[in-house]
A and B are shown apart, each in its own frame.
Chain A
């Protein structure tokens, strides 16, 4: 079997046993990327060939001496391009940061680099992670490997497409309202958003600080656990980072049953607007969960219908504040020929930001402005509390919640670009877990009649990633969806 088809766990086994070298892995992926990337456009920047091969050589040379490997050593990874990589440009999919080369690494990169992976490149995203399709990237959209006329999802669409198209073995994404889970569902791979605070946000370019969280996009649940092990932990550089112990998450992905777990089915997630084909696949999945010993219980989360409105006020308010830093002074784009400072601010921001970012800055600025603050922003914060309380209440009774990831399979490129509200409405199932800071995973649970992947979401209690991963692994093993791979047509 071709190297690029292996999972992270399989590739790791072959590397650790000495069956393959880092150099072979690097060359296999360079070849794969050269064949597939022109069609999928998953990456914004690629590590230069010579640099990657030199790095692989260094790993292979070192290995002879050390005979010791780390879980991610020589593993070929893609990194979402809103995560700062020292010395490697980090664009956020924006003209504003087109030439920005971070002088420091994000904490997740420091942790990764200590294990000597092969960083293949920086993956595409909607500008500043604002979007559900990658169509808002200043560098053009990525394509869904299952059907290139369709979106790969977003905002971590480049990462999901790269994993699905075997252009990296695993990738990092970031999730603010679904940006890991939704593209994973669109591309038929696993996407895992940890509890808010589990993974350091230091060096993740801020979009909405109370919601942003980094997590893995992988081919299997076990691979997600391996990646998560490398990411998790308290970081003094992130004041919202959680000071908590954590287990070895690969041990969560071992049991093939979910006996004694109570799985809640929130009725508000199965109402009109849910594509019947998706509904059917989720119902099938619920039966599988029941067959593995899970106790299925219908539950209610009454504030769900308010989640989108709440999210789009809070996220845009935070974004308008976070993105105020792009003023053309210390880094980023500066408009030419400005005669005075205020004009320079205005011109740089107007030319540097794309339409979706401007729209969200406008909405957030409006929601925070004098006279509207209480009606919009404060109101949304109160409803956020209600959404959180809904979850607290049901998690007294159930261990997990099961739902769709998005209301339909991946839509066509261009289909919702002119209608921002329609685009926002597709985030209904992923937003609530973001607002409540819960861990949630998206994993494949079938294909539509047109051959597009459908995703299953499992949500858990805060800091109980182990339970989420356990159930996801058991489901994955009981089904065979992960063996379905896209054929990339030329």
Chain B
């Protein structure tokens, strides 16, 4: 039985930049334990010497000519921004007190 502690749930949520409510922490903790217990079966599989598959794509490394071409205009790029001002994305201050 996999066991992910409350602290670990909080740690993973922090890594994922998620704030969880107390009920969410409990629920996700239980569900993640259940899912991790299920996926633990992979430990039974002997994979010694087996290469890892990250992608089944045929082409591994793709380079293109480094030529200038048109992209989005500034106005288009900013149109979906939650907040923009004078051609910039606006965010809350980065450095805390």
- Chain A contact residues, CB within 8 Å of chain B: 99-101, 103-104, 196-197, 210, 236, 239-240, 242-244, 303, 306, 308-310, 312-313, 320, 324, 327-334, 338-347, 349-350, 353, 355, 358-359, 361-363, 365-366, 369, 375-376, 378-386, 388, 420-421, 424, 436-437, 462
Contacts and interface: CB of A to CB of B under 8 A. Distances in A.
A386 B79 CA distance: 46
Nearest to B90: A329
Interface string B68-97: 000010001101111100000101111110
B84 to A, nearest CB: 9
B39 interface: yes
A385 B28 contact: no
Report which residue of A303, A378, A383 has the largest number of chain B beta carbons within 10 angstroms of its beta carbon.
A383
A99 B72 CA distance: 19
Contacts of B72: 103-104
Contacts of A378: 52
Contact of A362 (B18, B51, B80): B18
A363 B52 CA distance: 20
Contact of A242 (B42, B58, B82): B58
B55 A386 contact: no
Contacts of B7: none
A350 B20 contact: yes
A331 B35 contact: no
Nearest to B76: A103
B38 A332 contact: no
A386 B59 contact: no
Given A346-B19, A380-B42, 5 more contacts: A340-B95, A347-B19, A349-B16, A353-B18, A366-B36
Given A350-B19, A365-B16, A197 B57 contact: yes
Contact of B53 (A341, A346, A384): A384
A353 B79 CA distance: 22
B93 to A, nearest CB: 6
A329 B54 contact: no
Contact of A386 (B47, B82, B93): B47
Contacts of B57: 196-197, 210, 239-240, 242, 437
B4 to A, nearest CB: 7
Contact of B92 (A197, A339, A365): A339
A421 B16 CA distance: 21
Nearest to A333: B82
B1 interface: no
A197 B45 contact: no
Interface string B38-50: 1101110101001
Given A376-B39, A381-B54, A329 B91 contact: yes
Contacts of B26: none
A460 to B, nearest CB: 14
A341 B17 CA distance: 11
Given A334-B83, A385-B50, A359 B28 contact: yes
Nearest to B34: A421
A312 B39 contact: yes
Contacts of B55: 210, 240
A124 to B, nearest CB: 21
Given A240-B57, A310-B42, A331 B80 contact: yes
B19 A382 contact: no
B16 A361 contact: yes
Given A103-B79, A385-B52, A379 B35 contact: no
A361 B45 contact: no
Q: Which 4 pairs from chain A and chain B are nearest by CB?
A: A334-B82, A331-B80, A437-B56, A382-B47
Contacts of A353: 18
Contacts of B50: 382, 385-386
Report which residue of A376, A379, A420, A462 has the largest number of chain B beta carbons within 10 angstroms of its beta carbon.
A379
B35 A420 contact: yes
A215 to B, nearest CB: 16
B74 to A, nearest CB: 11
A341 B94 contact: yes
A465 to B, nearest CB: 15
Contacts of A104: 72
A324 B32 CA distance: 20
A210 to B, nearest CB: 5
19 contacts: A104-B72, A196-B56, A243-B58, A244-B58, A303-B45, A306-B42, A312-B35, A313-B42, A331-B80, A341-B92, A341-B94, A344-B91, A361-B16, A362-B12, A362-B13, A362-B18, A363-B36, A380-B39, A385-B53
